[in-house]
Structure 1
Amino acid sequence: METQRMEGKTVLVSGGSSGVGLAVAKGLARLGARTVLLSRDSDRGRNAVRAVQQAAPGADVDSRVADLTSPASVARLVDDLRDTAGTLDVLVNATGAVGERGDLRPGIPRSFATNYLTHHLLTRAALPLLRDAPAARVLTVGVAPALVRRLKEFAVDGVDANASGVRVLTQAVAWKLLLSRHLAETETSISAAVFHPGLIKSDLLGRQALPLRLVGSITNRFASSTCPVADHLASRTADLGPAGGMVDDHGRTVALPPTISTANADRSWAASEALVHQLD
C-alpha cells in the first residue's frame, strides 16, 4: 500500500504502549511524523518510546500519561498538545481491552468505556487541534469485516448496563463506526475512517484465563509488529474513501450494514455526550 513521508506532522496514538497502537506508532515514526504515544502508565510509555526509537532511529517520539475515562485528564492532555505542537494532523484511536468487568460509573460498563467511550472523549476534545491542521484525519481501530457485517441490532440511545459482555462489546464496535460516520458528516476539514489492522502482536489476552493466554501466545507467533494499512491511511493525501467508512487490512473498502447510518450516528453521538457528562 502506498505511503508518503510525514515530516512536519504531529500524530497522537492512544493505546500506544502496546499492541496495535505500538505497531501504528512505529510505522508513522518511520515515515517521519512527530509521534506522541498515550499510555495509562509512565513506565509502559517510556518502554514504548524506546521500542519506537529502535524501530525508527532518530524519530521524534514522546509519550504522555492520561486517563482517557476522565474529561479533566483528557483536557489537560489536549492543552499540553496545544502548547507543544499547536495542531494535530492525525489522531489514532487504538485503546482497547477484553475481559474487563464491572462498571466505570453506574450504568456505564467498564468494557464499553475502554473500547468506545475513551475514543469519543479523546476525539471530541482534540477536535479544535484537528480543525487547525490541513487535511486532518481521525483513524479508529475496528474489528474483522466479517463481524462488522453482522451488526444488525444494537442500542443507539444509551448503553444497557445489564447486557452481556458480548453485547456490550458489539455495541462498542458499532458506535466506533457511528463515531466515524458522525465526524465525516459534521466536520468539513477532517477525514475519518475505521480500519481493521490485521493480525498484530499484542498482549491483549495476557491477563485472561489460561486457554485464552495460550491462544494469544500462539497467535502472536504469526502476527506482525507493523500495521501497513494505518501507515497508508495516515500518510496519504488522497481521499480516505466513503465518508466515515471502513477499510480492511489491505486498504479495501468494507461494505457497512444499513444500521451504520447518519441518523444512528447522530443519536449515538448525543447519547455519548450524555455518558461523558456522567464522568465529570
Structure 2
Amino acid sequence: MRRSLSALVLGFSLFLGSMSWSGFSITHTVLDPGGSEELADRLFESPALRSALVGLMADRIEGLLPEGIALPREQLELVAGRTLDDPSVQLLVRQGLVQVHQKALRGDSSPTQLHATAVGTAARNVLVAERPELEDRVPQAPAVQVELPTAGLSYLGSIRAGLVQATLIFGLVAAAGASMALLIARNRPLVLRRLAYWAFGTASFWLLISLAIPVAADVLSPRSGVLAGAIASIMFGAMVPGALTLAGLGVALLVGSFAWHQFGRRRGVHMVGTPVFVR
C-alpha cells in the first residue's frame, strides 16, 4: 500500500514538476520583459526574419521607381538586402523588434513600423549606387513604410501572466509531493532513481524539441507570422542549457540513490552482525 501510494504521489509530482520547469524556462527567456534587447539581437540573426524583411522592403522599393522604370525582382531584393545591411537600418530594425516584444508582453497589438524616411534614404542610396541614372529621378528623402510582421504575438502577455502563476503553484506542489513520496516510501533509493529517470527523460524531451521546433517554424510560418516563428525557435532553443542542467541533476540523483542503497546495506549488515549478550 505504501509503495503504491508513494508511486502515485511521485508520478503526479513529477508531471507537475515538468510543467513548472518548462514554465520557468519560458518566462525567463523570451517572455522576460528585461530581455527584449537580447532577444532582438537574436531575432535579427534569424534567416527567416531577414528573408521576410527583404521581401517587404523590395515591395516598397519598387514603389520608389519612377514611371516607366522597372527592375527584376532579383535586383529589387538585392537592393533591399543591401539596405538592410546598412548600420542605421539595422539599428532601426533592432529598436523595432524591442518595441514589438514589449508591446506583445503588454498585450498591445498595434503595428510597429520602421522610421520611413531613414529606411527610404538608405534604400535610395543603394538604388542609385546600382542604377546611377536614377539619381535625378528618385526623391532625395523618400518615405518607405516597412511594418514588422507581428502576426501571432498578441497573446504573449496573457501567456506570460498565466505561466508565472502556474509555475509557482506547480513547483510548490511538485516539491511537496516529491518530499511526501520520499517520506512514505519503504525503498527511498528507488524514489531517487525515479527522480533521476524523470530528469533524464525531461531533459531528452526538451533537447529533441529544441532541435525540431526551429526547423518546423522555418518551414510552416507564413511571412506575416515569421516573427512569431522566430520567437518560438529561440524560446525552445533557449531551453538547451536548462535541459543539460536537468540532466546533470539526474546524474546527481542517480549517484545519490546508489550511495543511499549502499549505506543502507552496510548499516543492515552491521546491525545483523552485532553480537547480543544475554545475561
Query: TM > 0.5 between the two?
Result: no
Larger RCO, structures 1/2 (Cα 8 Å, 6+ apart): 2
What TM-score do the two structures reach when normalised by structure 1? Answer: 0.23
Give the number of the structure whose residues are more often strand, by fraction: 1
Give the number of the structure whose residues are more often helix, by fraction: 2
What TM-score do the two structures reach when normalised by structure 2? Answer: 0.23
